[in-house]
Amino acid sequence: MSVVPGTVDTEQQPPMTVPLRHFLVALGFLLAGGVVGGVLVLGGIGPITAPGWSSLAHVHLLLAGWVCVTIMGAMTQFVPVWSGVEIHSRRLATRQLQLVTVGLVGFVGGLLAGRLALVPVFGALMVVGFWVFAYNIAATIRAVGPLATLDVTERNFLIAVGFFLLLTAAGLVLAVDLVVPILRATPIDRADLVGAHATLAVFGAILTTVFGALFQLATMFTQTDLHGIDHPLRRIVSVGYPAGVVALAGGRLLGPDIAGGRLLGVGGGGLVIAGVLAMSVILARRLFEAQVPWTPMLSRYAVLAPAMALWALLTLPRWLRAPLAAETRFGAPGTAHLLGLGVIGFVVLGTVYHVVPFIVWVHRYSDRLGFEDVPMIDDLYSDRLARIDFACFLAGTLLLVVSDLLTTLSESALGGVLGSGVDVARLITTGAGLGGAAILVGVVVFCLNVVSVLRTHSPHSVRAILFGTRRSEG
């Protein structure tokens, strides 16, 4: 891509250091999550970890840290650009990251050290940071105009920040309950609240944001338009999907023992799956009709489309039978990595490969366009490194997904397919270990590639972006 698409208003974007700071911090959380995940796959995290809490720390590093902080930076950048309004408060956009970063580091540290008294304290800081973010984005979108005038992306983002408020409130209650069992005095079961919290996080805040962004990005960067069946499918995604998330979360909060809980779960789960399938068809059609050369962003979106469809088809029969069960919280048993890496991971990777070079290009080269030779946006990163991290992520995801699915089959069934002399458990463990290693290598290469864009092309140094200092002259 050589120029900025004419449908965006780059004059309204915040200072470049604001979103880029979010992305750099998110990369730090990605690296930390990759290290913790790799150690977990190898069988433990060492003497500093209280049993059972390392997995929770790993999940929060990746989802609350990498994915949600990336979402915060992306919304802060692109809501003003796409909607043609200034961000409500630049100061709050800075404070939100500080609060979430300090809160999440302390939260994860408390879990890994087994010092649970720290978890609600730092969890409260993290929650305040997310609430500041939600307020700032909601106030920015409110300036666009009445609700009826918002486009599908703006509506999805507004719904997503609502999910952020709900999931963080539930998370704070859960964090406090670790130290002071406040839920004992209520009719709410802790396991049911955990299920609702996870549903609002993954299917609510994260995927609602992803779908809203894809309606813009998938058309903009394939240079195609929605047409034909895309329009009714869009209504399923924009209306049916959020309603399904609310119903599914409500059913899981009520639990199977309260009348209406399972009915809400089945109905909500069906709408969620319909929305995911609809989005996969829309995205696949945009990619098939693409009028531009393939880029790292589109390559990763090409993994996302079939991953969404496969996850939905595997999950449908299980959610029809048991949508409230803990083992089906993130879909059918064995599909957690398919959802987390194949869907969420690849869409975040692909989007960052556009967003970071886009911001740097606009601030460094856009004013020179037409006066001198300037690089294209896709020239700012290394194609070779992009191919390497894509191969590592794809191979690692496939190995982890296959290992997960194999664990759901009985040992006798696997033995009949693979042969009686095969050590099935060792095969699964080896596959998961290799997959985790490949993902970790991909994480490192991806981070190096993105940081190299900033080091080579940004008018600000990496230190200036993170801490606000100026790049030295001369």
**pLDDT for residue 137 is more than 70:** yes
Cβ(424)–Cβ(11) below 8 Å: no
Band of pLDDT at residue 26, cut at 50, 70 and 90: very high
**pLDDT for residue 456 is more than 80:** yes
pLDDT digits (tens, 9 = 90+) for 192-215: 999 999 999 999 999 999 999 999
Return the pLDDT at 268: 97
Return the pLDDT at 420: 56
- What's the rounded Cα separation, in Å, for the pair 66 and 397? 17
Please count the residues of the chain. Answer: 474
Write out the two tokens for 335. 């599909």
pLDDT digits (tens, 9 = 90+) for 34-73: 888 777 766 654 444 444 688 899 999 999 999 999 999 9
Cβ(33)–Cβ(108) below 8 Å: no
- What's the rounded Cα separation, in Å, for the pair 207 and 253? 20
pLDDT digits (tens, 9 = 90+) for 290-305: 988 888 889 999 999 9
- What's the rounded Cα separation, in Å, for the pair 398 and 387? 16
Distances (CA, A) of 223 to 220, 306, 367: 5, 21, 24
- What's the rounded Cα separation, in Å, for the pair 7 and 182? 50
Phi, psi of 5 (to 5 degrees): -55, 140
Mean predicted lDDT score pLDDT of the chain: 88
The C-alpha angle 328, 440, 399, rounded to 5 degrees, equals 50
Return the pLDDT at 227: 94
Residue range 397-424: average pLDDT? 72
Write out the two tokens for 458. 């940004």
Residue range 391-416: average pLDDT? 81
